[in-house]
Each structure stands twice: as structure tokens, then as C-alpha cells.
Chains A and B, each alone.
Chain A
Amino acid sequence: MDSDRWQRIDNLLHAALELPPAERDAFLKRECALDQDLEREVRSLIAADKSAGSFLNTPALEGVGYDSTITHVAGQTVSHYRILEMLGAGGMGIVYKAFDTKLERHVALKFLPPHLRHDGELKRRLSEEARAASTLDHPNIVVVHDIDETPDGDLFIAMAFHEGVTLRHRIERDQPNGMPVTEALQLARQIAAGLARAHERGIVHRDIKPGNIIVARDGVARIIDFGLAKSSQATATADGSTRGTPLYMSPEQASGKPFDGRTDLWSLGAVLYEMLAGRPPFSGDSNLTLLHAIIYDAPPRLREVRADLPAAVEAIVARAMEKDLARRYASAAEMAADIAAALDGSGRLPVRRPTPRRAAIVMAAVILAILAAVYFAWPRRAKLTDRDTVVLAEFENKTNDPVFDGTLRQGMAVQLEQSPFLSIVSDDRMQFLLGLMGQANDARLTPQVARMLCERAGGAAVLDGSITPLGSHYLLALRARNCRTGDVLDQEQVQAAKKEDVLIALSQIATRFRTRVGESLASIKQHDTPLPEVTTASLEALKVYNTAWKVWAATGPAAAVPHAERAIELDPQFALAHAFLGRLYGELWQPAQAAESGNRAYQLRNRVSEIERYFIMVPHELDGTGNLRKAEQTARQWAEAYPRDVRPRGYLSGIDQFLGKFDESVEDGKKAVALDPDFPPAYNNLAWAYVQLNRLPEAENTLRQSADRKVFFPEFLVIRYYIAAIKGDRAAMQREAAESEKSPEVGDWILHAESCVLAYSGRLRDARQKSLQAVNAAKQSAHQQERAALWQAGEAVREAFFGNYGEARRHATAALAISRGRDAAYGAAFALALTGEKTQSQALAKDLAKASEDTTIQYDYLPVLRALDALHRGDSSAALESLQTAAPFELGVSGYGTGLFGILYPVYLRGQAYLQARRYAEAAHEFQRILDLPGVVFTDPVGVMARLQLARTLAASGDTAKAKAAYQDFFTLWKDADVDVPLLIKAKAESALVN
């Protein structure tokens, strides 16, 4: 089978399993219409899924969650206990067999999880409870001898040591079958007896499970870990993930309600169930579904699983596992008595049998539970956590007014995005997922599609809603459902008196929903600006804005522009629409318009929600003012306020590179990938950062990772080309270049990169050919004029460096004729300065200087141009002084990426200045710095120049041997160079003089 076909089978399998069994047939027939093999395959897997049961559910040896990083090695002494060996590890720490040197007996030492070390309060409470438990003296409870702390502050408990296995182990021996009924009942009776004693003393165990019962060889069962369940709950939140299993948890525990001793009886019932059935009463793929099943579902009937079971025994389990506390056994003693009766009477006994009346009540209770699931919102239990993601489906418009089409969903999205608690699957990501699902990018998000998408996105809930006319009023409804089970998590309704109030009503409903699903009131208070204030009061404008997004999704940025403009026309104060328009222009490589719209949005930034404000401000600093420090600062604030939003991390990993902080870029990039593994720019920035650090295997790995996720980004081709080029892998370079011909996004870019590679080895004639192709390719695309200018500017810079001044001036002029954007203008200015065109260069510099906040211009471009001028005047100290300004930013990779021109020029010129000042060691150091950063330099001609200048520096310093080697290094690089390049001719002449 090939993996594509398997992928398809796998997707169909899950889609079918999602459906109620009755609907699967039609679904499969429809989906596999032309492929009977496919249908058969999926059906057979559905059957296998059903019959798989508990297959592979228990780890190969034995599976208990564990969490501890404390360890103690045999032979070590803790207090007066000598540790002998490790017995096991579980959710509540590691247990060792130890020898009590005072009382000369064996004990079991349990070390509680190390994070308790730092929680004095919890530790105090735990030791109090454990101390209370230590007063329990009963043959079915393991005696606690001692509670103490190690010098490191780790809590440990010394208890009686018993030879034996855990009940978990005993159950597994008979799996997949259940244990003999008599043995199971005997064990359960003892556990109930132990619990009875504890409950008498007011001590609730809270975590009765097979792993907490020790069964000795003589059949005596003993309960361990009284009073310790709290520490396992602490474990559950210590690193944010749930450990261990809630398999035996009672419904009241699962729903966060108060509980008493009867909760232990439920758990014992569940344990008894598992002993008899060979599998636990409830199962679920995740803790979430498991908890849900515990609260709402009835377990499979025991006698269906095990026919030989007396009805009396089934009744005992059923009574212990009553979801309604009032119907459960009132005490452990009562349960123990029933078990004892079942044991000696073997079925003859007067155990309550479920009478028909009782059965009816049970049924009614089940129905009530279902109704409660729909209508009853547990006020204190969070239904979602701050790790959950939700998907918004379309609102159903039951009015005849088309103005509500799409508008309500858009409004709800804006409203819910304000919440740092909820994470809404973004429209970008949704499109990507729709593509994976084989749906059109702009497919209608029916609740069904949204639910599939939600599952695909790893989401927890899907939200849909409706608007219904109610006389002259409107009724808005919102419903949140678990996207895996379809169960309703929350329902809200609100009325709006008139059309104009609908957006306000939408805000109210959103706020109520946020409260219900578990967001804290403080958080809501801080991030809840009503919709009309954060978007627009005009429903029409909101509708057109929504259309703009849809058009963007379906056909791309160019077609969306008129819609965004129309939304602005309808409400000129609509900040989000301005921001969106700016984004569209940005995608179209139209920096001037992008900056203008961005600026407009920026001015209106107080009319958006906090999160949108960040989304406006960061691009504004990046593309508008160019203030990288501020951009970084704002993005960091954003990441802190909305830690689950991938966008700030994505921006940060890019900004880090602009600032030359490549290691930080890797960190931020990794975080971005972790936050949203389907967000292409995250991989893009991370892979670039690795390339810049010359950590090529990791860059390749990052790209592979994204390919595994089926995440693609046009720039990946460029990165792969760079990697191949740095490695000197010609075959791969050709492959990537051929691949890129298909890509309208990066075809011209790769052509130019190919040209840069040629030029870097001195093959200028071939390079010019490729550059010409690159420029033409860019010019052909209406939206890539800026890039055409950049390619021209890059060519100007390298021709100037290599001594072809005429060519350099020609390209500089050509670049400026296309665009006077920042980077093209700088390239032209630099090339012109090198060729001695001082006036023109200075005029360009003066223009650049107007962007007073632009970090790159003020701290890199201008100091470089000034230093160049100083060097021409022979004033090396003025050059050095000017370059000092650049020092903090000189490793930065400016707007257009590496390999073209402009990277590390402050370092290069500082080397030049030192050389001019005859400070050879310092000069050599600067040039060497450039050569040490091959991933940053890539094919920037400065790499060629640094080699030659290093040779010149060494020659001037009189180090003949090293100078010769350095020249040789340059000649090796240029072994295939055109013979007529002035730089080469000059270098040959110079090197001949080195003797």
C-alpha cells in the first residue's frame, strides 16, 4: 500500500467513525463510489476498530503513569532508612524497599513528587492528611509508620512493607478475561472493609484504583496511599498536562463537585467491574472523553461482558456505580455486607434485585442526565481549558436579510479572539486544513464541516449559532459542542430588539459563553470590548469586510482589495478593514500602499480589540516606521498577553534575524512551530535562522518536518536552494532551480539566487544572463516590481565591488527607475558610492535619512554610506566612528534576506578602515568575522571581498606566508572566474608582488 492511499483510508476511517453507525453505510457508499477496494478496506478497519477492544491498551509490561524526578540509589541512607531497591514508580512518586536501621525491619519508602518541594502549603496539608491516615489501623490498610522530609525538602512516607503485587498486576494476569468471581469478591470485600474503617474516621481516599491495592500471596488486600490523592492532583497541574488516568474517578470528582466517602465506593465499584470484566467500565482516547463518559454514559452491562456472573454481583457493582449519590451505597460497610452475602450465599441471598420499578427509575435518571447535559451548565467546572482550541462555524441565517450572512460569524470571531483563554482556529489555518480535507478554500463552514475541521485542528469545541426573526425582534443563539463527540457543552440565547442592536447582542452572548466555559472573570473584564467598538457599528461594512476575507481565501489578495476598500468606504473608521487592506498590499509586494493602509489602521488602533491592536502595531513598526526595537518590544508584549497566538512568535523569529540574534530566532521559531505546527511562516523563519547559523542539518530537518505535516510555503524552495548551494551540492541546486520554474512566487528569486552563486565564483557573464532573466520574470508579475528593483540593485553592488563601474552605474539607475523603496535605494546608493558617484549617492542617503525611526537605515545603511565616504577621503577614524553606531545591529539581516547584498557591510567597512589605518590585526579580525559566518554571507559579494581584503591585510602586515595562502584561497574560489574581471586582474597583479 502506498502512503497516499493509506492516508485516504485513514481519513475515511476517522470520518466514518465520527458518524453514528447508522449513517456510516451511506457515507462510505458515497465517498467510495468508484472504488470498491477502498470501501472494503475502510469497512474492514471499522470492524477491526470495534473488535480491537482493549488491544494494546495496557503498555507492554505494565502501564501506570509516573511522575518523579527524584531518585535514590540503592545503598543510600535517608534519615534512618537504608534504601535497598526500587519497587516501582507511580503517579505519586517512586517507592523503594528500605531497611529501618532503628527498628530493624523492612519498610517501603515512598517519595512524593519533587515539585511539592516548593509548595510549602500543599506539603503541609499532605503531611497532615498522611499523618491522620497513619492513625488508621486495619488489616486491609497499609500502616504508615512515619512521614518526614529529606534534607532537600522532599517529602517521604515510610510504611509497612508487604510482599505482594498490586491489584493492577493481578488483574492483568487474567486479561483479557476477568478474574474468578470468588477471588474478585473476596478482594473487594476486604477493600470495602478497609474503606469502612477510614470513612468512620472521616478519611476519604479519593484515588482508589488497582495500583493502590497491594495483594499479598495469602490473598490479603491492603489499601495504600490514604490522603495522598491531592499530591497526584497537584501532579496533574504541575506541568500543565494530566498524568495518570481518571479511569476510576467518580462522576462527582470528574465534574468537580464536592464529594465524600461515597466517591471511594464508586471507585471500588469500578475496580470490581474491571476485576470481573477484565477491562475498566469506561474507556476513552483521551482523558477528556473519558471524563465525559464517566459523567454521562452507562458502562457496558457486566453480564453482557461476562455471562456467568450472578445477577446479585452485577447489582452490587451497579449500586456502587450509581451516578446519583443518593442511590449509591450509603456506606462502605453496607457494600461490604452485600459482597459478603454474595460470597457465602452464591446467588441464593436476599440481595436487592433491580425491580421493574427500579429499572424505570434508572432509565429516568439516564434521561435526566442527558437533559442535564443539554441544559445544565455546571457553574464552577471549566468545560474548556486554556489549552483548548475552538472552531467557529457559520451562523445560520433564518431571517430573510442577507446582511447577516457571514457577518455574525465574523463578529463572533473578532469578539472571541479578544480572549487570551480561548484560542480560535484562525482563518488562515482553516483554509490550510480545508485544503487538506480536499475542500475548496472558501467552502461553507457548515457545522458539520466545521466539526471535521475542528477535529483535524486538534480542537476541543466547535461553535455554531443562528439568528431567527422573533416578531420584530431577533433571537440569537450560540451553541458549543465537543467536536469529537458532538455533545453540547454550552448553549446561549439572547434577544435583540432591532437590527442595530444585533452586534451588541452578539457581544453579550460571546461574553456569557466565555464565562460559562471557564474563563476567569478578571480575564474577561480585561479583554472584552463590545463589538461595535472594536470593529464597526455598520452591519453592512462588517458584511463587506467578511466578503473581502472570503474572496481573499478563494482567489487571493488582488481580488480582495476592492472589497476591503468598499468596507472602508462604508465606514472610514473601520480600523480592521484598513489593517486588512494593508496586509493585502503587503502580500502583493506593494510596500508603499501597505505602509499607507497600515498607518491608517495605526491611527485608528484604539478602535480595535487588544489583540488586533497588536496585529496592527507590529506590522506598522516593521513596514511603516521600520523601528525594529519597538517592533520587537510590541511583539514580545503580544506574545506575553496571548501566549497561544502563533503570530507574535512568528514575527519575533523574523525580527530576531533583522536584529542579528539568530539563536533567539531559533528559540522563537521553535515556539511558533510548537504553537501551530500548520503555520508555514513559523517553519520558514526557523529554517532561515538555522541556515544563518550554518546549522544546515537542522534547517533541513525543519523543512522535512513541515513537509511531513504537508505544510508548504513558497520560500521553502529558496531555502532548499540556499542549503544545496552552501553544501556545494550541484545536483540538488539544479533540482531546486528546476522545481522553482513552476513557482510564480519565487521563480524570479531563485533565478537571481542562481545568478548570485555564479557571480560569487567570478562567473559574471553567466551571472548577468541569469540576473536578466530574474529581473524580467519579476517585471512580468504585476506585483513584483519591488523585487525587480532589488535584483537590479544587487547586481549594481556586485559589479561595483568587482570593478565594473559602468555596469554598476547602469544597474543602479535601472533599479531606481523601477522603485525607490528603502532597500533598492540603499543598494543603488552603495554601488554609486563605490564607483565614485558621490553626489547621487549622497542625495539618496539624504532621502533615506528621512525615515528617522527606521532602525536599519539609521543604524546600518547611513553609517555605512558615511563610512564609505570617509574612507574615500582617507579619513579612517571618521569611518570607524560612524561605524560605531552600527555595532549593535551589524549582524542583522535586513528586509530582503541574505545572499543578495548589504549584510555585514559595517563589519567589512570597519576592516577597511583598520586596514587604511594600518591596524592590520584588527582589520584581519573584522574580515575573518565575515568569513566565519557563511550562512549569513551566503553569496553576498562581501564574502568574496572579505577574502581578498584579508589577503591584502596579511600582505601589508608582512605575513607573507599567510598572505599567500589567503590569496590562494581567493583564487580557488574564483578558479572558474571570467578572466577579464578587474578585481581578478588586480588581485593577480598584487599577489605576484607578495614575496
Chain B
Amino acid sequence: MRTEPPTEVSTLLRAWSDGDQEALQRMTPIVYKELHRLAHYFMRRERDGHSLQTTALVHEAYVRLIDYKHMEWQNRAHFFAVSAQLMRRILVENARRHNQKRGGDVRHVPLDEAVLVSGKRPAELVALDDALNELERFDARKVRVVEMRFFGGLELEEIAAVLQVSAVTVGRDLRSAKAWLHRQMTGGADGLRPLAADR
């Protein structure tokens, strides 16, 4: 089932961890393809009653793509970081498609896609994605933190390793990002109107 020899992605991953941005660009489509394939594979299994876990999924992609026995854990965290971004894309794309179908045609939603977004309500995912895009405009790091935590299931310590900041900083980032996103998505707390993000 391997789509790419593990050494290739391993090499790219190492290069990227060492700062080579081009390696990331070359690695991304491969990982995306694999995650996407696995996600759908797992989704079908979901109907059999087994739970799906982001980490399990990303982990499966990792062991399929990477020569993991020769990889340092920092590199693994980097892999999980990029996978988190890709998971965001996969889930949000599905959610958007799901939403369109809901809006335009209520008859049928293909089962695997319905399940793919069953964990979280699709509308919520789409709103989250929009809010993240907004946040990205002035605080990209917090977006990365949310992605890694929420879409990638990474521990704070792992996120800290990828971003090279302390776990406490990650915790703080997460807390303010959550507050900001929550307000953005609910139209403000306590009836206060949120300021437009670009003001």
C-alpha cells in the first residue's frame, strides 16, 4: 500500500526539519494524498463501530511514509505538525462539501463523507476554518498551535518542540486563541460585538 518509498519522504522530512522549505513543498502533496486515502479508509471502518482517532490516523500515515526507525522524535513532531495542517484541510473540505449538499440538495450525502464529519458538526468546522483564516492575518503562530492541537492531536510539549517555544507559551497561545476563536464564532460573548478583525 505504500505510495512512496519511505526513504524519500524521510529524507524530505529531515531536510525540512533542518530548515529546507522546499522539502516541505515536495513532501506536502505526498502526505496529503496518504492522509486523505487513510481518512476515507478509516471512515468506512467507522461504520463497523470502531472509533477514529486523529492521532491514530496521522500515526498510520507516518509509519507508512517514513522510515521511522531511523527518525528522531523531533522530526516526527514536524511530521505531525504538517499533517495537522493537512488534516485541517481534509476535514474542512469535506465539511464544506457536506454543507453545500445540505444546502442545495437534501436527499443524499454519501455515507463515508457524512461520517467523516460526524465527529464535529460540519458547520462548526467551516466556521472554525474561517475564524482561523482571520486569525492567521495577525497571529500565524496561534493558528499553528490550534492546528497541531485540534487537528493533529499533538501534546503541548510536542507543539512546543516544533515551534521551538516553551510548552507554557503554547498553553498561553492556545488559551488566547480559543478565547478569540470562540468569540469570533459565536459573535462575541456577553453581548459585546467583536471588533472587526481588520480594524
Give residues in A with beta carbon < 8 Å to B.
Answer: 1-3, 6, 10, 13-14, 17, 37, 40-41, 43-52, 55-56, 59-66, 68-69, 71, 73, 85-89, 94, 163-166, 168-169, 172, 217, 239, 241-243, 285-286, 455, 457-459, 484, 673-674, 677, 695, 697-698, 701-702, 705, 708-709
Contact = CB atoms under 8 A, between A and B. Distances in A.
A43 B146 CA distance: 22
A241 B157 contact: yes
Contact of B138 (A2, A45, A677, A701): A2
A43 B183 CA distance: 11
Contacts of A44: 183, 188-190, 192, 194
A379 B185 CA distance: 47
B140 to A, nearest CB: 9
B195 A1 contact: yes
Contacts of B137: 1
A48 B63 CA distance: 39
26 contacts: A1-B195, A1-B198, A6-B138, A13-B179, A14-B176, A40-B192, A44-B192, A46-B179, A48-B179, A48-B180, A48-B182, A49-B182, A51-B182, A52-B178, A52-B182, A60-B151, A61-B54, A62-B53, A62-B119, A65-B153, A71-B68, A241-B158, A243-B155, A285-B172, A458-B167, A697-B20
B114 to A, nearest CB: 14
Nearest to B165: A677
Nearest to A70: B63
B27 to A, nearest CB: 16
A55 B182 contact: yes
Contact of B139 (A3, A165, A168): A3
B51 A62 contact: yes
A519 B192 CA distance: 49
Contacts of A60: 54, 87-88, 91, 119-120, 125, 150-151
Nearest to A7: B139
Contact of B55 (A41, A55, A66): A66
B69 A69 contact: yes
B40 interface: no
A638 B10 CA distance: 34
B139 A65 contact: no
A864 B97 CA distance: 72
Nearest to A389: B166
A49 B182 CA distance: 8
Contacts of A242: 155, 157
Nearest to A17: B175
Contacts of A40: 192, 195
Q: Which of B128, B182, B192, B198 has the most CB of A within 10 A?
A: B182
Contacts of A66: 53, 55-56, 59
Interface string B58-80: 01100100001100010000000
B176 A10 contact: yes
Contacts of A697: 19-21
Nearest to A701: B19
Contact of B50 (A49, A88, A708): A88
Interface in B18-34: 18-21
Contacts of B195: 1, 37, 40-41
Given A62-B52, A66-B53, A163-B48, 8 more contacts: A1-B199, A47-B189, A48-B179, A59-B55, A59-B149, A60-B125, A61-B91, A709-B165
Contacts of A73: 1
B81 to A, nearest CB: 14
A833 to B, nearest CB: 42
Given A1-B138, A41-B195, A241-B157, A13 B176 contact: yes
A88 B158 CA distance: 20
Contacts, number: 189
B68 to A, nearest CB: 5
A184 B56 CA distance: 27
Contacts of B57: 61
A44 B152 CA distance: 29
Contacts of A169: 51
A18 B184 CA distance: 23
Contacts of B190: 44, 47, 51
B49 interface: yes
Contact of B171 (A56, A285, A702): A285
B101 to A, nearest CB: 20
B59 A89 contact: yes
A243 B80 CA distance: 15
Contacts of A674: 164
Contacts of A52: 178-179, 182
B179 A61 contact: no
Summarize B's interface: helix, strand, loop or mixed.
helix
A398 B26 CA distance: 65
Contacts of B157: 241-242
B37 interface: no
B151 A59 contact: yes
Contacts of A695: 19
B197 interface: yes
A94 B68 CA distance: 15
B183 A85 contact: no
A708 B165 CA distance: 11
A59 B51 CA distance: 13
B53 A89 contact: yes
Interface in B126-176: 128, 137-139, 141, 146, 149-153, 155-158, 164-169, 171-172, 174-176
A85 B179 contact: no
A217 B164 CA distance: 45
A63 B119 CA distance: 11
In the A-B complex, list the 5 residue pairs whose CB atoms are closest, starting with the nearest: A458-B166, A48-B183, A47-B189, A49-B179, A169-B51
B139 to A, nearest CB: 6
Given A1-B199, A69-B68, A242-B157, A63 B166 contact: no
Contact of B150 (A2, A59, A85): A59
Given A1-B138, A1-B198, A45-B183, A164 B192 contact: no
Contacts of B155: 65, 241-243
A63 B54 contact: yes
A693 B125 CA distance: 45
A460 to B, nearest CB: 9
Given A1-B138, A51-B189, A241-B157, A56 B53 contact: no
A63 B138 contact: no
A43 B175 CA distance: 15
A241 B159 CA distance: 12
A673 B164 contact: yes
B86 interface: no
Contacts of B13: none
Nearest to B48: A163
A240 B51 CA distance: 29
B45 interface: yes
Contacts of B166: 457-458, 677
A273 B199 CA distance: 43
Nearest to B90: A60
Contacts of B87: 60
B19 A698 contact: yes
A168 B53 CA distance: 11
B9 interface: no
A14 B172 contact: yes
Contacts of B176: 10, 13-14, 45, 49
Contacts of A87: 50
Contacts of B156: 285-286
B149 A56 contact: yes
A767 B87 CA distance: 55
B53 A48 contact: no
Nearest to A52: B182
Contacts of B91: 60-61
B199 A217 contact: no
Given A51-B189, A56-B149, A163 B49 contact: yes
Contacts of A285: 156, 171-172, 174-175
A94 B21 CA distance: 32
Contacts of B19: 695, 697-698, 701-702
